Amino acid sequence: MSLKPRYHFAALEGSNYERLPYRNHIVLQENAQHVGRFIALANVGNINKRKYLYAFTIVPMNSMDPAELVKQPLDVTENPFRKSGKEGSKSMQSRVEVEDEAAPQFFFDLSKQQGKKRYSGGRDGPHTQKKQPRKAPQATGPCWFCLASPEVEKHLVVSIGTDCYVALAKGGLVSDHIMILPIGHYQSVVDLSSDVMEEVNQYKTALMKYFRSKGKRFVVFERNYRSQHLQLQVVPVPQNCCATEDLKETFIIQAQEQQIELLEIPEHSDIKQIVQPGTPYFYVELDNGEKLFHRIKKNFPLQFGREVLASEAILNIPTRADWRECKSTKEEEATWAKAFRESFEPFDFSPKD
């Protein structure tokens, strides 16, 4: 507690555990200080395949920007060593305990400001090395989804916010299958800055209200695998066709059939806590906020989310599972987009011109 290390590594228990970062100062009584991180690693080559290697780069404290150094990550907790001390109020204690309990076994370094893990493999390379949150990054090559790029199909766009936009999905499962996309070139939700993420959530809420007014619930899914630009697919499902529980069940069952392990993510945790940028994954979010997550290793069926939704158990339109089979003319698409834009308008918070 008095040393206040930024990192505390331990190996004596022979297991891998990464605690949420904790504060080294008392809020409202002391100036903000750097947070502490506790990381325990398993024995080298252990048979349980527990993590035993932790690679990261660390910027020495004295060469860091002081403001950057004391930045508190979103998931910071109180200091666990201070629990029994006089400052450790009841509420503080219970909060720490609750968070410890809720912490799944896979916690990663959330703060990109301090020592970062080096991404050691995979196709995406070490793009966690950048220090500052990027502002509307641009694609290096042509991109179908960067709003500024000439490739984007403008007639499908239905709403444009500050950092995100909403567009009709090309070859959508249903005529109001839409997508939330960042305006800048971000690969996945994990890469989004908090501002962009906030607007994504704003759109989700607006769309949920909109679909409810139409007697529908929605399923949101993202496949961060073989895609360059984040597309959050939002597919409405009639409320009288499936309860949220049934939707969840269907996803789990159909995943099992394909040997895909879908994990339920603890409530109030988000994808950022589970994967670091560059990791391929698939996740589904239901309208009650529940999320199912799969870390993609290899050969993930690209149409999986659509297949499940198109299946007999849900929308029962199996022939539309593959978007390439869902051809329509540009005129039809423009008509659907216009219709959507008009009926979504009362729910749309984006600035109108």
* Residues in contact with Zn ion by the rule CB under 5 A: 139, 143, 145-146, 185, 229
Alpha-carbon distance of 49 to 42, in angstroms, equals 9
Place of tokens 């959530």: 201
Comparison of 11 and 143: residue with beta carbon closer to Zn ion = 143
Q: Which helix (H) or strand (E) holds 282?
A: strand 281-285
**Distance in Å, CB of 191 to Zn ion, minimum:** 11
153 touches 145 (CB < 8 A): no
DSSP class of residue 81?
G
Least spacing, CB of residue 229 vs Zn ion, in Å: 3
Smallest gap from residue 21 Cβ to Zn ion (A): 31
Q: Which is nearer to Zn ion, 19 or 185 (CB)?
A: 185
User: Is the CB of 176 or the CB of 191 nearer to Zn ion?
Assistant: 191
The residue (of 73 and 137) whose beta carbon lies closer to Zn ion is: 137
Cβ-based burial of 267 (10 A; exposed 0-12, middle 13-18, buried ≥19): exposed
Least distance to Zn ion, CB of residue 143, Å: 3
Beta-carbon contacts of 234 under 8 Å, excluding residues fewer than 6 positions away, are: 177, 178, 179, 180, 204, 207, 218, 219, 220
To Zn ion, the closest distance from the beta carbon of 228 in angstroms equals: 6
Tell me how far, at minimum, the Cβ of 230 lies from Zn ion, in Å.
8
Which is closer to Zn ion, CB of 145 or CB of 218?
145
d(CA 99, CA 79): 12
- Comparison of 111 and 228: residue with beta carbon closer to Zn ion: 228
**Whole-Å CA distances, 19 to 87, 103, 311:** 21, 8, 40
Q: How far is the CB of 2 from Zn ion (least distance, A)?
A: 48
Cβ nearer to Zn ion, comparing 70 with 143: 143
| Separation of alpha carbons 282 and 247, rounded Å | 16
Q: Phi/psi zone of residue 39: left (φ > 0), alpha (ψ -120 to 50 degrees), beta?
A: beta
